[in-house]
Amino acid sequence: MIKSFPFLFIFSVICSSISFSQKSNETSVAPDLPISDKTGLITYKEVVEVEGLSDDQLFDKSLQWANGFYKNPKNVIRTSDKSSVTLVCKGRYRMNNPPNKKGVVTSAGDAMYKLTINFKDGRYRYEITEFNWLKTSAFPAERWLDTSSQSYSPVYISYLEQTDQKTKAIIASLKATMAAPVDEAVEDW
């Protein structure tokens, strides 16, 4: 009995540390992301009022924003149609894995999204959707929400949080540019 005591003690310590690490993963909760009732996709969407600006002026401002926001706007801007007052961008952002035990953060790859902006006099509507993790094939971000899937990993919560943060930063940047006063052309005399 005494000889088995150290074995039982070590076994109980190992079991408690395993159950403790499992509990820490269970406490992580995915952010509350907006899901479209129509498509079932993660979709950030809003109509923003901007008084006194025509649809053409709003279109020009959004194009100015896209050219300044993206490092390579020629590859990101897919549709820039002033006649239908629509701007479509396919952007991407880098994701990171949570820090390992040594605090080292590694890349998890890139995720893509689609941003569509439509304009009417005095307002514009943006929609950011079609989030896909770039792997050998497209991996829809909505799969990160399926905790019952056999391929589910707790790291997906971090990816969802990063998606939410990056998308909110895009929206904030767009809104700031769209709300700024219009630069009147300087008269050439």
Q: Which domains, and CATH codes, for the chain?
A: 37-179 (3.30.530.80)
Q: DSSP E strands: which ranges in 14-163? A: 44-49, 77-81, 86-96, 107-120, 123-134, 138-140
- CA-closest candidate to residue 111, choices 151, 72, 84, 140: 140
Q: What pLDDT shows up at residue 183?
A: 65
Q: What pLDDT shows up at residue 27?
A: 58
Q: What pLDDT shows up at residue 167?
A: 96
Q: What pLDDT shows up at residue 137?
A: 79
Contact 51, 122 (CB under 8 A): yes
What pTM was estimated for this model as a whole?
0.77
Contact 144, 132 (CB under 8 A): no
Q: What pLDDT shows up at residue 162?
A: 95
Alpha helices in the chain (DSSP H): 4-26, 55-69, 73-76, 155-179
Tens-level pLDDT at each residue, the chain (189 residues): 455 444 433 434 444 443 334 434 445 788 899 999 999 999 999 999 999 999 999 999 999 999 999 999 999 999 998 888 999 999 999 999 999 999 999 999 999 999 999 999 999 999 999 999 988 778 899 999 999 999 899 999 999 999 999 999 999 999 999 998 876 544 443
Q: What pLDDT shows up at residue 97?
A: 94
- CA-closest candidate to residue 113, choices 169, 38, 180: 169
